[in-house]
């Protein structure tokens, strides 16, 4: 066994055998320095003369201070000599310097506030009364949440393939569109009903803001967690739960806190179940991804868990199958074990996007689960569960139908009896039960719609209904009605707060710097438009929107012009439909006007023209 002295001697001998270059750190490669600016050329010349004429000076600091004072007092003509010298050196540098090879960019890390695990921990502590309150609001599907972590590599891969213009994803060589029905299929949130309007004057929610200590940054998640820990299950609990679910899973923003704008649709907790949460969640997801790509925020907002589970459901990695069994909502089918197994199979295939796109029946009112066992005739045994939406249900038919009053579910069961579907008919062995179509009035009946909707069919009437509610944009007014009712309301109640215009005719308008929007009303049909103003780093962002249902197919084009002397800025774009005032500008075209374009009166002077064709 060698001694310690022998080991030290062998180590020194090995170091001597190494070349001098290998035992030292590599030095950075010396490159040609960048040319100096005009000030540097002047200061070098001035300091030499100053040091020669002022030998008593204290050194370089005093000479540099004198050079700075002399440079500031020089005119543009006196500085031109040094500027020309610096320009010549720079041109020579550009012509002789080798081309710069860009370094490969490292893959960016995904930063997101979407945290299913945080919501999962809160759900485990809810009492039975609180769980019933969650179900009454239409969020009962979240109680089946089993996934606690996001697969960030998959989410980042999906974001690179997300098309915000078409609201689709390009996967496996196919374009897969996303719709509110997909949100309902994956998360179990309603994809029909009233549009969620999260904007309006702060006076309506001033009391709620004080109650939740809302600041400009938002509402603290820790405050909401403390409130949800109490056993109370009333309106305060419901409001706190919706805020917490939106801020941690469904609609998180780039910030750590919950957006206080959500309080606008939480003033009346009795109508929460009537909102179209699927459309709201998808719109917010598209908005947050667009802002992230524009560089306006470092973190990605929106429900990334929806994208992750949607990918798992639509891309099959186990080979083609004749019948895809689905449990609605899919949220309850994916726990940590299932996701880990899926990721292992994805890795075995060589990465994401190696599977096969599958198409599932988008029938959210019927759930088919294939079970083991078969009948003598070869027909599989199935269990059928029908979700009665909109408060409608089937009549009781003996022992074949049982109703769950909490979830509004009616489940037809019969042990080892085959079930078949034939256009709404359910055939059970020798017994034939015909279920009549469920019909009811449109949810927008209070706003003038008289259509009858068949909820057993895959109808899109409520999504495209022209009577969808729109909110009055003025502060302090809580009117909500159809676009036609809103036009009449504005003409009678706020006739002095609008600006009349005619289609296809330009009009001059002025907007004060403290005004967020200007209401424009057409003389021909009374439609309302908003000239919206936002603030960016270098100026004001202006755009025009039409107050109407988001699903409206009617489109208006507009022209915005801002002039200053012989210079002018111009934007031609399409006015998108929004059911009220905007809390922030959407990711669409806008006109950016620098702060220097303001008039002497401190106003934005514009020329606006809106076309109806």
State the pTM of this model. 0.49
> Would you call the peptide bond into 329 cis, given omega within 30 degrees of 0 as the criterion?
yes
pLDDT at residue number 433: 43
Which structural domain, as residue segments, surrounds residue 133? 116-357
In the predicted model, residues of the chain with pLDDT beneath 50 are 18-19, 22, 105-107, 320-325, 361-435, 458
Name residue, tokens 């012509």. Answer: 95
Residue 591 domain flag: yes
Q: Are residues 349 and 235 in the same domain?
A: yes
Same domain (yes/no): 79, 168? no
What is the reported pLDDT for 455? 59
Total structural domains within the chain: 3
Answer yes or no: do 80 and 131 share one domain.
no
User: In the 8-state DSSP scheme, what is residue 98?
Assistant: P
The whole-number pLDDT of residue 407 equals: 38
454, part of any domain: no
Indicate whether 78 and 191 sit together in one domain. Answer: no
Q: State the pLDDT at residue 457.
A: 58
Q: Which parts of 135-217 are beta strand (E)?
A: 162-163, 168-171, 174-177
Torsion of CA 239, 241, 244, 247, to 10 degrees: -70
Asked which of 318, 339, 357 is the last residue of a domain, the reply is: 357
Question: Looking at the structure, do residues 194 and 83 belong to the same domain, yes or no?
Answer: no
Is 323 part of a structural domain of the chain?
yes
Residues 63 and 139 in one domain: no
- Residue 429: per-residue pLDDT: 43
Q: pLDDT at position 338, please?
A: 92
Residue 87 and residue 122 in one domain: no
Cα–Cα distance, 425 to 420 (Å, whole number): 8
- C-alpha distances (whole Å) from 277 to each of 32, 49, 167, 280 are 59, 75, 17, 5
- One domain for residues 208 and 143: yes
Q: Is 456 among the domain residues?
A: no
81 and 230 co-located in one domain: no
Residues 124 and 86 in one domain: no
> Measured between alpha carbons, how far is 147 from 151 in angstroms, rounded to an integer?
10
- Residue 200 to residue 522: CA distance in whole angstroms: 22
In terms of domains, do 165 and 240 share one? Answer: yes
Last residue of a domain, one of 332, 357, 382: 357
Side-chain half-sphere exposure of 329, counting CA atoms within 13 A = 26
Which pLDDT belongs to residue 426?
A: 42
Residue 386 lies in a domain: no
State the pLDDT at residue 401: 38
**Do 352 and 475 lie in a common domain?**
no
Does 31 fall in a domain? no
In-domain check, residue 110: no
Which tokens sit at 445?
Answer: 């009946």
What CATH number is attached to the domain comprising 548? 2.60.210.10
How buried is 245 (Cβ within 10 angstroms: 0-12 exposed, 13-18 middle, 19+ buried)? Answer: buried
């Amino acid at each position: 066994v060698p001694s310690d002295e022998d080991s030290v001697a062998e180590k020194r001998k090995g170091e001597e055998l190494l070349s001098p270059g290998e035992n030292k750190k590599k030095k950075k490669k010396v490159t040609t320095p960048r040319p100096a600016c005009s000030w540097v050329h002047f200061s070098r010349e001035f300091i030499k003369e100053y040091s020669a004429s002022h030998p008593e000076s204290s050194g370089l600091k005093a000479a540099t201070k004198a050079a700075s004072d002399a440079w500031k007092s020089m005119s543009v003509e006196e500085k031109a000599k040094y500027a020309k010298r610096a320009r010549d050196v720079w041109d020579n540098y550009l012509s002789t310097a080798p081309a710069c090879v860009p370094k490969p960019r490292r893959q960016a890390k995904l930063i997101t506030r979407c945290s299913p695990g945080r919501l999962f921990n809160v759900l485990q502590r809810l009492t039975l009364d609180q769980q019933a309150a969650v179900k009454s609001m239409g969020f009962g599907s979240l109680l089946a949440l089993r996934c606690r972590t996001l697969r960030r590599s998959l989410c980042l891969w999906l974001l690179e393939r997300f098309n915000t213009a078409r609201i689709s994803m390009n996967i496996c060589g196919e374009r897969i569109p996303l719709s509110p029905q997909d949100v309902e299929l994956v998360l179990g949130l309603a994809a029909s009903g009233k549009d969620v309007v999260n904007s309006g004057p702060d006076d309506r929610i001033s009391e709620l803001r004080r109650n939740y200590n809302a600041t400009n940054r938002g509402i603290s998640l820790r405050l909401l967690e403390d409130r949800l820990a109490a056993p109370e299950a009333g309106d305060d609990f419901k409001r706190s739960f919706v805020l917490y679910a939106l801020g941690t899973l469904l609609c998180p923003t780039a910030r750590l806190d919950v957006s206080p704008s959500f309080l606008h649709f939480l003033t009346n907790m009795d109508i929460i179940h009537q909102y179209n949460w699927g459309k709201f969640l998808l719109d917010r997801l598209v908005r947050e991804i667009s802002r992230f790509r524009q560089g306006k925020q470092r973190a990605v907002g929106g429900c990334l868990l929806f994208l992750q589970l949607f990918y798992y459901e639509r891309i099959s990695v186990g080979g083609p199958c004749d019948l895809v069994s689905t449990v609605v909502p899919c949220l309850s089918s994916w726990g940590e074990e299932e996701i880990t197994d899926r990721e292992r199979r994805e890795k075995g295939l060589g990465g994401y996007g190696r599977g096969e796109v599958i198409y599932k029946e988008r029938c959210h009112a019927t759930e088919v689960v294939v079970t083991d066992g078969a009948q003598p005739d070869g027909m599989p045994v199935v269990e059928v569960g029908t979700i009665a939406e909109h408060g409608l249900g089937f009549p009781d038919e003996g022992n074949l139908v049982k109703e769950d009053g909490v979830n509004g579910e009616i489940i037809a069961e019969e042990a080892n009896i085959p079930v078949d579907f034939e256009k709404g008919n359910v055939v059970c062995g020798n017994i034939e039960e015909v279920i009549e179509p469920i019909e009811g009035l449109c949810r927008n009946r209070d706003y003038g719609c008289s259509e009858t909707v068949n909820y057993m069919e895959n109808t899109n009437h409520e999504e495209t209904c022209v009577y969808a509610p729109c909110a009055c944009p003025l502060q302090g007014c809580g009117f909500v009605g159809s676009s036609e009712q809103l036009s009449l309301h504005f003409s009678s109640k706020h006739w002095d707060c609008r600006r009349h215009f005619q289609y296809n005719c330009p009009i001059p308008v002025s907007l004060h710097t403290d005004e967020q929007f200007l209401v424009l009303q057409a003389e021909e049909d009374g439609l309302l438009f908003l000239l919206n103003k936002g603030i960016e780093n270098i100026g004001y962002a202006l755009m025009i929107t039409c107050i109407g249902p988001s699903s409206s197919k009617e489109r208006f084009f507009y022209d915005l012009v801002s002039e200053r002397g012989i210079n002018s800025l111009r934007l031609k774009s399409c006015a998108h439909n929004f059911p009220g005032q905007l809390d922030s500008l959407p990711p669409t075209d806008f006109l950016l006007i620098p702060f220097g374009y303001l008039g002497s009166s401190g106003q934005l002077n514009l020329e606006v023209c809106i076309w109806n064709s």
